[in-house]
Amino acid sequence: MPPRPSALGIVVDDMPAALAFYRRLGIDVPPEADSQPHVEADLGGGMRLLFDTAETIRSFDADWEPPPHGLHRTELAFELDAPAEVDELYHSLTTDGHHGHKAPWNAFWGQRYAIVHDPDGNGVSLFSALD
């Protein structure tokens, strides 16, 4: 099965302010999510909108720095069926010349995870649940 879009992630400086904004746009997120470092909102059709604080991102990517103000802070995430597929696709993309930002690793949240950059430098996550 080919990779399929699964989530769009946004790195936020202020979780309560970000969630308040997106609630105004119709994203259903409970009030108690304001105090969380990672929040997921179901968009339907298998898509999720993810919100992470900069501290959450730095918990697994210590060198991550936000782009200068006004530039994008979003990322696409693609789910694969098996952990080995994350490794295979990451290798294929980097072999084709795409920048590999984070080689595949077993993330503490229970996924095989990797990050590559698209041609414009945007982060694209590849992941699968660990077996």
pLDDT tens, residue by residue, 74-130: 777 889 999 999 999 999 999 999 999 999 999 999 999 999 988 777 788 999 999
Predicted pLDDT at 7: 92
pTM of the entire predicted model:
0.70
CATH code for the domain in which residue 86 is found: 3.10.180.10
Tokens of 129: 């649940």
Give pLDDT, residue 85.
96
pLDDT mean across residues, the chain: 90
68, pLDDT greater than 80: no
pLDDT at 1 over 90: no
Q: Is 131 exposed, middle or buried (0-12, 13-18, 19+ CB in 10 A)?
A: exposed
CA atoms of 76 and 5, how far apart (whole Å): 7
> Is the torsion defined by CA of 20, 62, 72, 40 positive or negative?
negative
pLDDT above 80: residue 9: yes
Contact 96, 89 (CB under 8 A): no
| pLDDT grade for 71, boundaries at 50, 70 and 90 | low
Rounded Cα gap, residues 123 and 131, in angstroms: 25
For residues 97 and 47, give the distance between their C-alpha atoms in angstroms, rounded to a whole number.
28
Domain count across the chain: 1
Domain extent for 64: 4-129
Instruction: Say what the pLDDT of residue 69 is.
Output: 64
Q: What SS3 state is found at 73?
A: coil
